[in-house]
Structure 1
Amino acid sequence: MIKTFSAILHLAIWLGYISGSWAVSFPTEASLTTTVPTKTDSIAILDESRNRYPAILRDSKNFMAEAVISDYHGDTLEVIYHLSRIFELLMEADQIGEMNLEDKEEFERFNRTFTNLYTTKLVTVQHVDAPGMAERIRTDITEAIEIEMGDTKFTVVDDRDGHIPLVRTKQVDQFINYFQTKGRKQFEIWLKRYMQYKDLILPILAEHEMPEEFIYLAMIESGLNPKAYSHANASGMWQFIYSTGKQYGLSRDWYRDERRDIVKATHAACRYLKDLNNLFDNWYLTLAAYNCGEGRVLRASKLHQTYDFWQLKSLPRETRNYIPYFLSAAIIAKTPGLYGFKIPKAQPFQFEEVVLEKSADLAVLARVAGIKPKVIREYNPELRQSATPSEGSYTLKLPMGKKDRFLAAWNKIPADERFAPQFVQHRVRYGESLWTISKKYSVSIHDLAAVNKIRNRNKVRVGQKLKIPLKGGRVWGNGTNGGPPGHSKRTYKVKRGDTLGQIAEDFGTRANKIRRWNNMKYGSHLIHPGQKLIIWVKEG
């Protein structure tokens, strides 16, 4: 173990994770297991938790360290799981509110390190379309190419009524060349996604009477990835930040983030773009405002006394690059064959809908539909938890052809086996804190704070009523029965083709924990069909 840990540490140093300004604190094997805090530990935690930011940052660093360890062992799915947890924590931090100066500096430093880590350092995900890859490409190309504003010679490619004018300039050609060379592999992924989602997005654009070229805006913003995330805490295919998403009807709560709902986010993007175009009456300026905000574009237009985008020299460098970047992507995607790209084959994203009146476990829904839990998540990317929302009905998307089978099987399942998460009410007593309450009910303190919209964990008051998310009908871990607190026991029967990493990803846990719970030798991935595995699943 010491030899392995030493190798990991040397790898981390070689990759540049540890520097004079920031260092990853790598956990030992013992520290990766769940322990019950002592009284002294709890006091330290309470003293540290003046607000939720330090705890979120600490957890994010731990997940990043575990991603490094998983990357060293070549477990791609486990790495992706850790990265997704970090994205969730960073989005949660964005929703809390204003940071103090110290927290802001720490988060910005972590964000820079984390972005560099998952886009350039982790070997296992270099061939995976990471959630922040679209932003990374735009940043790289912005740094590499300087757009000269002023008198511009251009060739018109498409200038039909009802469309965004597509023109080629010297600058646009530079971006086209980038996508044909260094950015080719990524653009091929984007083209495949375009083929996958165009039949869903284009009709929505038409419904709002918006130019069809706006689908390429989603392409350069997120690579048409519903779960894309940026360093500015923007999320989803259209990269809404929390405040703008909320303004245009996209909610985010404990259960879901509608910025990642393809249909709802596309409708919201159309309304936002329509408002911007009503302000500027110019599609190029509308796109520029989508990137840097209408205020900056209005100031630049006033300063230069023009609404000609190519004359607005005072716009930020990223925005000056943004329009040529958009035009190059749109021109290639409209006629990929002319630029050396093959039109990829992709299964269109089609689905059937089922209305669920009560909350249900995603694992149960997947089993009833005859698909894997990760497929449920792919079709419903807005879901943040292992269950559908507990308040009100929820429209679940299923792959085509699964609805009839699902309804027939679902109606036969007793209601108590569908797992409906419940909230119990807890009245805060004298001497209690959010931390002690979370331990009492074996729930995450982050989830408890999120459900009750608490920004400062020290500000719970005596007599305050809190909603505690609980789930019934399960065997719960208590530290003595082999399961960690806050986890429920599941038994999984291995199927042909399963891997330990895939099973871990489906249940939202880690391969090394499954090995420990089932007394399997560390490093061993040998499992066989029919084998029963005990899995403790963290609730929330």
Structure 2
Amino acid sequence: MKKLFLIFFVFLILRADVVNDSNINVLEALNIEDSFLLNPTLQKQYKEYAYRKKRYFLNILENGYDILPIIRKSIQKSNIPPELIAVAMAESYFMLDAKSHKRARGLWQFMPKTAKRFGLRIDSYVDERLDPIKSTQAAIDYLKYLHDYFGKWYLAIMAYNAGEARVVEAVVRAKVDKLCKIEGKSCKNDPDIKKYRKIIREYQQKGSRAYLPLYKLYKKLSHIHITLDDLLRYQPGLKRQYLPKETRKYIIKILAMSFLFNNDEFLKYSNSYILNSGVTPSFDKVTVPGGTSLFYVAKLLHMSYKELREHNLHLKNSFTPPYKYYIYIPYKKIAYFKEHFKPKHFFYVYKVKKGDTLLKIARKFDTKIRYIRDYNRLGRYLRVGQRLVIPMNSKFVKYRVRNGDSLAGIARRFNISYKKIMKLNDLKSTVIRVGQILKIPQRY
């Protein structure tokens, strides 16, 4: 008897850590029944984060120091549950350049097709999945769409991970199983149940080609109530559970993280400044002409190229696309930038010689054929004497020494001191040889 009382007492202590008004509010915001707080998997995950993995969790928050204000502000404006911050946390650990083996990228781990569907540009010059502001708005739009589709936030979150169709299938299967129990029908012999199971099987075999009948069944069974516990319940003997293992872990992880976000004791431990890291973002957007060099902007603003690049990971190169575009710069430098910025490009003007091809020229300047085509609006052919604008992706031009060249002559051609060329290439003397590759610093 004493042993049973002790077990019950320990259970109450552990239960008290999870079962509280704050966590109930989280569940209600995501349309989950309060009883789910007693789910043992959820309790285990929460305690692991709260006690054994405290430092790990804080490291994730520190990654998001500059990102959290952006997400919070966007979510507040969009009138969706603030708990959805945990989706970004679970997807990328707040790392802007996160990528998966499935080609998902960025803070919200968008796949290319979904990213374009929700307004993110991906081309040879930019990948806006790596833009924290644009990708956050796209993620909010996607989650709102999923909420409209399913009517519940927790289903929207799982669909964000597994896809709409996979969650529709899970809901239909769980409802069909529940229908058997509610009405006492035989799952083997009832004609309606047999028809429903056939629709499910055909979808599993044919995929999108058989989705419409499955979706119609999903709507037809809307009167059958199921819970998150129902969807996560393990079905012995079945290889294909209602939901993929990854998705089952995903929703638990997001709930555990959301509980910690709302835990007063944890916030005290974490020096809550991390979660209140600025009312506004530390950087802002400015529009610049096509081909603007980040090297030039960094020099203009008296900051390192590396720091500026970290705010502009959505740019695939060190220059902007051949169309009017935007970059992010530190908020405190906006006024200075607007006063002193003059359109200036980090290009090299190259004169086409006999025997030149676009491939040769691209290799010479360590760039891509497409960039040269786009910036010069080229047709099929080059002509000798034609001048090409070469967008540069580094601070240097690679120059191959030709017969008759001298270091002084090369320096004059590039309007730079020969001593700078010597220093950059670690030359001990002015002697150079035919075929030697020299790095030439560009002026901007």
TM-score, structure 1 normalization = 0.52
Give me the whole-angstrom Cα distance separating, in 1, the residues matched to 2:348 and 2:399.
20
Query: Which of the residues 368, 372, 375 maps onto 1:447?
Result: 368
Distance apart, 1:326 and its partner CA? 0.4
Equivalent positions of 1:251-270 (< 5 A) are 251-270=121-140
Aligned to 1:84: none
Query: Which of the residues 298, 307, 319 maps onto 1:387?
Result: 319
Cα gap change, 1:314/1:373 in structure 2, threshold over 3 Å: closer, same or farther? same
Q: Please tell me whether residue 373 in structure 1 is matched to residue 301 in structure 2.
A: no
Contact 2:371–2:391 (CA under 8 A) maintained in structure 1: no
Distance apart, 1:374 and its partner CA? 1.6
Equivalent positions of 1:113-512 (< 5 A) are 155=19, 157-159=23-25, 163-164=29-30, 168=37, 169-180=39-50, 183-305=53-175, 307-312=226-231, 313-335=241-263, 337-338=265-266, 341-343=269-271, 345=273, 348=278, 349-392=281-324, 394-411=325-342, 415=343, 418-419=344-345, 421=347, 437-442=358-363, 447-448=368-369, 463=380, 470-471=390-391, 476-480=397-401
Task: Classify the secondary structure of the residue corresponding to 1:442.
Answer: helix
Contact 1:361–1:420 (CA under 8 A) maintained in structure 2: yes
The one-letter amino acid of 2:228's match is F
Cα gap change, 1:409/1:259 in structure 2, threshold over 3 Å: closer, same or farther? same
Give me the whole-angstrom Cα distance separating, in 2, the residues matched to 1:295 and 1:448.
40
- Quote the sequence identity (%): 24
Give me the whole-angstrom Cα distance separating, in 2, the residues matched to 1:209 and 1:516.
55
Distance apart, 1:384 and its partner CA? 1.4
Contact 1:255–1:385 (CA under 8 A) maintained in structure 2: yes
Task: Classify the secondary structure of the residue corresponding to 1:396.
Answer: strand
Task: Classify the secondary structure of the residue corresponding to 1:355.
Answer: strand
Distance apart, 1:406 and its partner CA? 2.3
Task: Classify the secondary structure of the residue corresponding to 1:402.
Answer: helix
Aligned to 2:216: none
Give me the whole-angstrom Cα distance separating, in 1, the residues matched to 2:391 and 2:118.
33
Q: Deviations over 1:391-434 (max 9, x none)?
A: 12x232221221222233324xxx5xx225599999xxxx99xx
Q: Deviations over 1:234-264 (max 9, x none)?
A: 1111110111101111011222111111111
Cα gap change, 1:234/1:451 in structure 2, threshold over 3 Å: closer, same or farther? farther
Task: Classify the secondary structure of the residue corresponding to 2:287.
Answer: strand
Give me the whole-angstrom Cα distance separating, in 2, the residues matched to 1:215 and 1:223.
11
The one-letter amino acid of 1:320's match is R
Q: Deviations over 1:52-76 (max 9, x none)?
A: xxxxxxxxxxxxxxxxxxxxxxxxx
Larger mean CA deviation between 441-450 and 269-278 belongs to 441-450
The one-letter amino acid of 1:447's match is K
Cα gap change, 1:420/1:293 in structure 2, threshold over 3 Å: closer, same or farther? same
Task: Count matched residues.
Answer: 325
Give me the whole-angstrom Cα distance separating, in 2, the residues matched to 1:268 and 1:232.
19
Give me the whole-angstrom Cα distance separating, in 2, the residues matched to 1:490 and 1:171.
66
Give me the whole-angstrom Cα distance separating, in 2, the residues matched to 1:409 and 1:197.
28
Q: Deviations over 1:482-522 (max 9, x none)?
A: 99xxxx9999x99xxxxxxxxxxxxxxxxxxx9993269xx
Distance apart, 1:345 and its partner CA? 4.2
Cα gap change, 1:386/1:173 in structure 2, threshold over 3 Å: closer, same or farther? same
Give me the whole-angstrom Cα distance separating, in 2, the residues matched to 1:247 and 1:338.
38
Give me the whole-angstrom Cα distance separating, in 1, the residues matched to 2:299 and 2:61.
32
Which structure has the larger Rg?
A: 2
Q: Deviations over 1:104-141 (max 9, x none)?
A: xxxxxxxxxxxxxxxxxxxxxxxxxxxxxxxxxxxxxx
Query: Higher helix share goes to which structure?
Result: 2
The one-letter amino acid of 2:129's match is R
Which structure 1 segments of 5+ residues have no match?
1-153, 454-461, 495-513, 521-533
Distance apart, 1:199 and its partner CA? 2.3
Contact 2:72–2:85 (CA under 8 A) maintained in structure 1: yes
Aligned Cα RMSD in Å?
4.1
The one-letter amino acid of 1:250's match is L
Cα gap change, 1:477/1:209 in structure 2, threshold over 3 Å: closer, same or farther? same
TM-score, structure 2 normalization = 0.62
Which structure 2 segments of 5+ residues have no match?
1-17, 176-224, 232-240, 383-387, 408-413, 429-437
Q: Deviations over 1:348-392 (max 9, x none)?
A: 332243321342111110111111112212222211101122212
Distance apart, 1:307 and its partner CA? 4.4
Give me the whole-angstrom Cα distance separating, in 2, the residues matched to 1:259 and 1:423.
32
Contact 1:421–1:471 (CA under 8 A) maintained in structure 2: yes
Cα gap change, 1:165/1:446 in structure 2, threshold over 3 Å: closer, same or farther? farther
Cα gap change, 1:475/1:333 in structure 2, threshold over 3 Å: closer, same or farther? closer
Contact 2:396–2:439 (CA under 8 A) maintained in structure 1: no
Give me the whole-angstrom Cα distance separating, in 1, the residues matched to 2:365 and 2:261.
45
